[in-house]
Amino acid sequence: MTNTKQPLSMDLPHLTDSGFKTISVIMGLSALVILLMMIAGLTMRLNQAQIITIDAALFYQVLTAHGAGMVGVAGLSGAGIMWFFLSRYVSLSVGILLTFLSLFLLGVVLILGAIFVGQFGAAWTFLYPLPAVSGGAWGAGAAACFVLGLTSIGVAFLLLYLDIGVAIIRRYGSLSKALAWPLIFSGSQEDVPPPTVIASTAVTIFNTIGIVVGAAVLLATLANLYMPEFKTDPLLAKNMIFFFGHVFINASIYMSVIAVYEIIPLYTGRPWKSSRVFAIAWSAILLMVMAVYPHHLLQDTVMPAWALTMGQIISYLSGIPIIAVTAFSLLAYIYRSNMRWDLASGLLVLSIFGWAGGSVPAIIDGTISVNKVMHNTLWVPGHFHFYLIVGMVAMVFGFMAWLRFETSSKQPTGMDKVAVWIYAIGGLGVVITFLISGALSVPRRFAVYTDAWTSQTVYASGFATLLILIVTMFLLKFLIAAPGWRRQE
Amino acid sequence: MQDFALTTSFIVVGVLALIFLLFIFRSSHEGGDAPGLKAEGTRWLLICAMILFTIIATYSTLKPWPHQAVAGVTGSALTVKVNGAQWYWDVSHDTLPINTPILFEVSAQDVNHGFALYDPDGRIVTQTQAMPGYVNKLLYTFEKTGTYKVLCLEFCGPAHHEMEHEFTLVEKGDFTKESN
Ligand code: HEM
Ligand SMILES: [Cu+2]
């Protein structure tokens, strides 16, 4: 690599031109879907504001598309980021990456067809047995299409994780070594894997488990569509769906945070270290991300008390790796580092604030007695949009901005710094209006609002518009820079 | 409760934002070393504080167990059977007394629904899930007379938002007169 004019470049020994291009396509597509789905989100807010009126059935279809689209693309872009940086350390197959992308796109087509042709609108969580019991709104075919679409995306991920898992084992010997267990348990400094490898290993394990559980409940749903006498226990299905959903959406953040581990050191000149605390945090995440899911079922009083207690306690403890490990390290690394502030570094630092900040209302809602009055109000979209918009999506655009600086000779402009602030204000505005509405008991997933509920919706629409404008700019800048790109050998 | 959650969130997130801003402004100073042992000490302090918070908050919010009906504290409660279906509520009583523990036995006929009680001011006072094949028990003692609304808080199809029911809450004395 002779790209010496850029202080921000990094060695990417295994990354071929085709691998690089595929990642660029993945990121560009993700950003485009994020933009379109944000417009869908604005449409829902405008409808709730009674500024525009859309038919309730269509509202729920848009809701389903927004949820499935955003969650899917969070996974896609997270996988893109992880693949890109992991390819520094292990050799990954571009063929598999392309197969992954194709299966993913097949899933998207099936899901879009199910929703907008077949009128499927059971929300992305497809809570059993709603897909089969639509009250006449959609048919079994549409529901099957949706289920197969999600399954196709699931298979895409399983394939990718298989390749990643094998590559990691080839290089580090075993998954436990790649999780730095020798460092954790005996302090061994020998061949300690870098943060990216530790994170990728943990995500590969827990998201594989999550997707397998998801696939099982998807197949049960599919069977129920065509053979109504084939029934699944609704409580079991609910547990499996929330286990899968929780693990999958969290995996997208845990994959994307790799961009922070890799890019911020280029700005601060201080490498992100695989310390013992870091390794312990990731092994804890591996367990906690799976064990915490009962916090989605805190109002199912038939659930065993130990499961709900576990959900509450682990919700609290989950804050530790985010706040005391990731956010704390980030602040320590940037402190007096004389780092440069531009679109990439700005968005990446913002993203850790968004992730840590979003965990606060989430943790509060993880308390059974609070959850009793907040569950399924707009408080819930409030906290997850916090760590998805201000956190996860900021990581995605931060990574894309860095990719742009890294590969072209373009220097960031003063406008870029302002753009970070605009993004933060737009994102926080969307989030805070959700949270306030939630505290006012406005239910989530309601197509039609009473007048008393509309107080926040107009502000929300304004902030959403701001966010959409700035994201349009991020995407355009990326697309304009992209054609001239190639890895310089 | 809702106001407490909102205020606490704003305060904690606000403090977090201030800390971030402080470090962002300090980031442009030159000459610092990479974070050292002192930072690690602070980190462990923070971790211990968060563990301590977990222990205290868990103990103080789970004892007594918040789902009281499940914990067996039903006493002389009045039982109300609730069954959710697309898209209506089938409820055994429409008029209920205040200051009397009410035990809601909540189930569903077709798909998952959510049984949430809104007070006359439009705030949720309590809720539980309504699930086919299961009975979730919810104990609540109303304090205000007037009209309480039931809204469905689990998405159940295109008319989900229309699934409403009303309870009229009356003084204890009026209730016994009526049911006699
Ligand atoms: C301009 C930005 C955005 C706006 C205005 C917006 C708006 C909305 C609205 C109005 C809802 C439905 C709330 C309700 O229950 O009534 C929603 C749900 C949701 N949003 Fe967003 N959103 C935005 C960005 C995002 C992003 C970036 C993500 C993820 C990466 C995301 C993920 C979701 C998910 C998973 C749901 C839940 C869907 C469901 O309830 O089934 N949103 N959003
Ligand atoms: Cu409903």
Residues A399-436: tens digit of each pLDDT: 999 988 777 666 777 788 899 999 999 999 999 999 99
- Whether B84 and B144 map to the same domain: the answer is yes
- Whether B91 and B9 map to the same domain: the answer is no
List pLDDT tens digits, range B32-61: 666 666 788 889 999 999 999 999 999 999
Q: Give, for ligand 1, the residue of A385, A446, A457 to mutate: max count of ligand atoms closer than 8 Å to Cβ.
A: A385
Over 90: is that where the pLDDT of B174 sits? no
CA distance A65 to chain B (A): 15
A489 confidence band (pLDDT: 50, 70, 90): very low
List pLDDT tens digits, range A337-381: 888 888 999 999 999 999 999 999 999 999 999 999 999 999 999
Residue B31 has what pLDDT? Answer: 61
Residue A320 has what pLDDT? Answer: 93
**Which DSSP category does B132 fall into?**
B
CA distance B180 to chain A (A): 33
Does A189 map to a domain? yes
Residue A47: CA count within 13 A, CB half-sphere: 20
Domain boundary at B62, B89, B110, which? Answer: B62
Residue A186 has a CB neighbour count (10 Å cut-off) of 9
List pLDDT tens digits, range A182-222: 999 998 888 999 999 999 999 999 999 999 999 999 999 99
- Tokens in use for B56? 């205290």
CATH number for B105: 2.60.40.420
Question: Who among A305, A356, A374 is closest to B5 (CB)?
Answer: A374
Asked if residue A40 has its Cβ within 6 Å of ligand 1, the reply is no
Secondary structure of residue A443 in the 3-state scheme: strand
Burial of residue A2 (number of CB atoms within 10 Å: 0-12, 13-18, 19+): exposed
User: At B154, which amino acid appears?
Assistant: E
A74 confidence band (pLDDT: 50, 70, 90): very high
Percent of chain A with pLDDT over 70: 96
Residue A5 has what pLDDT? Answer: 37
Asked if residue A295 has its Cβ within 6 Å of ligand 1, the reply is no
Residue B64 has what pLDDT? Answer: 82
Residue A3 has what pLDDT? Answer: 33
- Tokens in use for B149? 């609304």
Asked if residue A33 has its Cβ within 6 Å of ligand 1, the reply is no
Burial of residue A4 (number of CB atoms within 10 Å: 0-12, 13-18, 19+): exposed
Percent of chain A with pLDDT over 90: 85
Does B131 map to a domain? yes
Give the domain extent around B55.
Answer: 2-62
What domain count does chain B have?
2
Chosen from B3, B45, B55, B112 to mutate, greatest number of chain A CBs within 10 A: B112
Asked if residue A63 has its Cβ within 6 Å of ligand 1, the reply is yes
List pLDDT tens digits, range A173-184: 999 999 999 999
For chain A, the average pLDDT equals 93
Does A2 map to a domain? no
What domain count does chain A have?
1
- Whether B95 and B125 map to the same domain: the answer is yes
ipTM for this model: 0.94
Contact A160, A203 (CB under 8 A): no
Tell me the CA distances in angstroms from A484 to A456, A488, B92, one per residue in order.
44, 11, 70
- Whether B58 and B78 map to the same domain: the answer is no
Average of per-residue pLDDT across A234-248: 96
Does B104 map to a domain? yes
Strand residue runs (E) in chain B: 78-85, 88-91, 95-97, 101-108, 113-118, 124-130, 136-141, 146-152, 164-170
Closest CA to A385 of A354, A422, A356, A346: A354
Residue A417 has what pLDDT? Answer: 85
Residue A13 has what pLDDT? Answer: 79
Residue A410 has what pLDDT? Answer: 66
Residue A132, H or E segment: none
User: Nearest 10 degrees: CA dihedral of A242, A248, A250, A252?
Assistant: -160
- Whether B168 and B106 map to the same domain: the answer is yes
Does B69 map to a domain? no
Average of per-residue pLDDT across B63-91: 86
More confident position, A87 or A8: A87
- Tokens in use for A264? 């911020």
Q: A58: which chain B residues are within 8 Å (Cβ-Cβ)?
A: none
Strand residue runs (E) in A191-241: none
Longest dimension (CA), chain A: 67
Residue B179 has what pLDDT? Answer: 58
Residue B32 has what pLDDT? Answer: 62
Asked if residue A390 has its Cβ within 6 Å of ligand 1, the reply is no
User: At A408, which amino acid appears?
Assistant: S
Contact A349, A334 (CB under 8 A): yes
Closest CA to A323 of A288, A344, A354, A294: A354
Q: What is d(CA A37, CA A124) in angstroms, rounded to the nearest whole number?
A: 14
Q: Give, for ligand 1, the residue of A36, A43, A60, A66 to mutate: max count of ligand atoms closer than 8 Å to Cβ.
A: A66
User: At A453, which amino acid appears?
Assistant: W
CATH number for A259: 1.20.210.10
Give the domain extent around A143.
Answer: 8-484
Tell me the CA distances in angstroms from A269 to A2, A335, B31, B34, one per residue in order.
19, 12, 12, 9
Residue A454: CA count within 13 A, CB half-sphere: 14
Does A192 map to a domain? yes
User: At B75, which amino acid appears?
Assistant: G
List pLDDT tens digits, range A302-331: 999 999 999 999 999 999 999 999 999 999
Instruction: Kindly report the protein residue whose alpha carbon is nearest to atom 31 of ligand 1.
Output: A70
- Whether B56 and B98 map to the same domain: the answer is no
Question: Who among B118, B155, B162 is closest to A445 (CB)?
Answer: B155
List pLDDT tens digits, range B89-128: 999 999 999 999 999 999 999 999 999 999 999 999 999 9
Question: Who among A305, A336, A441 is closest to B124 (CB)?
Answer: A441
Does A3 map to a domain? no
- Whether B93 and B170 map to the same domain: the answer is yes
List pLDDT tens digits, range A429-470: 999 999 999 999 999 999 999 999 998 999 999 999 999 999
B152 confidence band (pLDDT: 50, 70, 90): very high
Closest CA to A482 of A95, A23, A85: A23
Residue A483 has what pLDDT? Answer: 64
List pLDDT tens digits, range A21-56: 999 999 999 999 999 999 999 999 999 999 999 999
- Whether B79 and B148 map to the same domain: the answer is yes
Reported pTM: 0.95
Residue B35 has what pLDDT? Answer: 67
